[in-house]
Structure 1
Amino acid sequence: MKTCPACGYDHNPDAENYCVICRRDISAVPPRAEPPAPKNEGKGMVVAGILLLLCALAAFFFHAGPDRTDAGRRAEAPAQYENAADYDSVLYSLDKMGELRFLPLRDKKLVLPLLKDGDDRVGYLAARRIGEWARAEKDPAAAALWFEALLEAAASGPVSSRRQAAFELGFTAVSGFDPRRYLAGIRPVSKALVSDKDEELRAAGFFLASMSGIEDFNGQMADALKSSPSPAARLYAACGLSRLGRPEGHQYLFSASSGPEEPLKSEAISCLSYSVSGDADRFLLSLSREAADAETAVAAKRALMFRKQLAIIKY
């Protein structure tokens, strides 16, 4: 890999002559020397990780699956764990799966039922993993599988899964996966989320709709921005409005990104990654150079780099 001397992006392929982010000429930049991995260590770690994952998930389905003698009554019940070891092993496996680069599709599919798990942390982690796979997937059929699973999870099920699935759908839609053929499904899911009494579900609905290019809820977002008691609902209403080109959304994000309140400040900076404001690049560049604290400067640089990545993604 080559590191660009201009923007610092360090994942340019060795044979690339121009930085994939800023297009700086890097033909004279030598590839980084990667330390050789000990023989068979990498393969062994991957195999061990997959075996651990399969054992943990097999234990989960054995202990937490539906009662075969009472399948009708328990078919829709959330999974239950007989002991803490089962629960911890599932959480650990879901966490470690994010580090396995070559996990086969058949093993990834074991995570799909966990989107309906009754435990907040399990459902949340399952949605996160599937969202990451959807954005990294090169096979269109597999990417569609993950997107459809997230859409189903956002429509019904535990609150944590619905909320995170909606956010993952929004991230995926704006990161290169074309959501247009799913709009007939996204629209009612967004409407249900936006209409919910849970303010965090409303925030997720705002994000999903706006990142998918749906403007049906501009009025609700404008109302939430003005009067919602929930910081999350106000922030993601602004995020959605800014994505759809509304000046009140731009202004709120600029103000929150410059303010002292955390975590609102960091999330507002992240939201500027998706804003269509013509001033967003200039604002983030200024913030990255003049911020009073290093954390804010780093967040602004990260958002600016992500905007450059999104700028080269086209349907």
Structure 2
Amino acid sequence: MKQCPACGYGNPADRLNCAVCGLGLGGVRAKELPAPQKGPNYMLASGLILLACAALFYVLQNYAWKGEAPAGAAEEARFSYEGTVYSLEKLAGLRYLPAEDKKRVLPLLASPEEKAAFAAAKAVGAWSRGEPDGELRRLWLESLLNASGSGFPSARRQAALEAGFTLALSSSPGPYREKVLAASGALVARSEMELRASGFFLSAMAGLADFVPQMKQALDYDPSYSAKLYAACALSRLGYAEGHAYLDKTVSGGSSPLRGEALACLAYSASPDAENLLTAASADGLDPAAAGSAKTALIFRKQLAIIKK
């Protein structure tokens, strides 16, 4: 750069005359301009500040002192349904419990706790068999049929059994036929033996013979003795001789582990010989447990006959 000595204007180094005042610059020596100084890098500084803030937030979030949990939070986290199950077991025996209180139990049929759902099914079943009001009895029974369609296997099975016991006290399935058929079919289609057996029981207690082929197949070919017994129980209830013959063999076969269950099945059997078998078993002094089961089944069979009249 050549600075004009007259006006002070900074001209380019190759200028011969000042661009402002026209003075000749032949004798003026060119000067080198100082290198421009770089300003502060604000973007880098901002990035470092943000990074520091993020690190501080992480430390505070994960390592800073935290206050104690509110009182009762630990108890709530450890909450179990033991109290609910105990209450349901007690409520099941209350015959004159207000209907509105009973209705509050219905959601527990779908409880996420298996024991609570199981206990709810037993309670609703007990109420359905002792309910004098037709509309409420219908509500209890339909709730059990619905509960047999989903949930824990043990609770589904219990709901089906309770519904079956209730239907056994009726002269016919009546308005429930289609719902019983649908519920039984869903259970019979299951691969679990306990659920299939409860489907057999439910349909047989309602007097429905729609699943007799499946019952006979289970009686003839199922490797499980329990499955055979449940199929025989249902067939005997429906009046099929092969079902009663299997029960007779199980009851008369000595100390079979399924003897008590076979005796219980005879309480519902349509065979006229069932009462004779129960009477003989109730006098068996060699097997007190079986004798007790036979006496209970015999009493229930006689009560059932009275109700049916």
1:165 paired with 2:156, answer no
Structure 1 residues 215 and 165: CA distance shift in structure 2, 3 A: same
Aligned to 2:236, which of 239, 242, 266? 242
Aligned to 2:189, which of 195, 200, 205? 195
- Aligned counterparts of 1:82 and 1:129: Cα–Cα separation in 2: 26
TM-score, normalization by structure 2: 0.72
Structure 1 residues 228 and 289: CA distance shift in structure 2, 3 A: same
1:102 paired with 2:92, answer no
Which SS does the other structure have where 2:213 is aligned? helix
Deviations 1:86-124 (A, max 9, x none): 422111111221233321111111110111113221111
Which SS does the other structure have where 2:132 is aligned? coil
CA contact (8 A) 1:135 1:177 kept: no
Aligned to 1:306, which of 297, 300, 307? 300
- Cα offset, 1:177, TM superposition: 7.0
- Cα offset, 1:291, TM superposition: 4.4
Residue of structure 1 in register with 2:135 after alignment: 141
Residue of structure 2 in register with 1:114 after alignment: 108
Aligned to 1:260, which of 251, 255, 259? 255
- Cα offset, 1:83, TM superposition: 4.0
In structure 1, list runs of 5 or more residues that go unmatched: 1-80
CA contact (8 A) 1:127 1:164 kept: yes
- Aligned counterparts of 1:141 and 1:239: Cα–Cα separation in 2: 30
1:251 paired with 2:245, answer yes
- Aligned counterparts of 1:96 and 1:233: Cα–Cα separation in 2: 32
Residue of structure 1 in register with 2:124 after alignment: 130
- Aligned counterparts of 1:151 and 1:181: Cα–Cα separation in 2: 13
Structure 1 residues 177 and 162: CA distance shift in structure 2, 3 A: farther
What is the letter of the counterpart of residue 261 of structure 1? S
In structure 2, list runs of 5 or more residues that go unmatched: 1-74
CA contact (8 A) 2:81 2:113 kept: no
Which SS does the other structure have where 1:292 is aligned? coil
Which SS does the other structure have where 1:155 is aligned? coil
CA contact (8 A) 1:153 1:165 kept: yes
1:276 paired with 2:267, answer no
What is the letter of the counterpart of residue 301 of structure 2? R
Aligned to 1:296, which of 290, 293, 296? 290
- Aligned counterparts of 1:200 and 1:111: Cα–Cα separation in 2: 25
Which SS does the other structure have where 1:312 is aligned? helix
CA-based RMSD of the aligned residues comes to 1.9
CA contact (8 A) 1:225 1:234 kept: yes
What is the letter of the counterpart of residue 260 of structure 1? S
Structure 1 residues 218 and 291: CA distance shift in structure 2, 3 A: farther
Deviations 1:202-250 (A, max 9, x none): 0000000111111111111011112223333211100100011111110
Which SS does the other structure have where 1:290 is aligned? coil
Structure 1 residues 102 and 217: CA distance shift in structure 2, 3 A: same
Deviations 1:19-55 (A, max 9, x none): xxxxxxxxxxxxxxxxxxxxxxxxxxxxxxxxxxxxx
Aligned-pair identity in percent equals 48
Which SS does the other structure have where 1:313 is aligned? helix
Which SS does the other structure have where 2:90 is aligned? helix
Which of the pair has more CA radius of gyration?
Answer: 2
CA contact (8 A) 1:237 1:249 kept: yes
- Cα offset, 1:192, TM superposition: 1.2
- Cα offset, 1:314, TM superposition: 2.7
CA contact (8 A) 2:92 2:124 kept: no
TM-score, normalization by structure 1: 0.71
- Aligned counterparts of 2:265 and 2:77: Cα–Cα separation in 1: 40
Structure 1 residues 99 and 182: CA distance shift in structure 2, 3 A: closer
Aligned length: 235
Which SS does the other structure have where 1:307 is aligned? helix
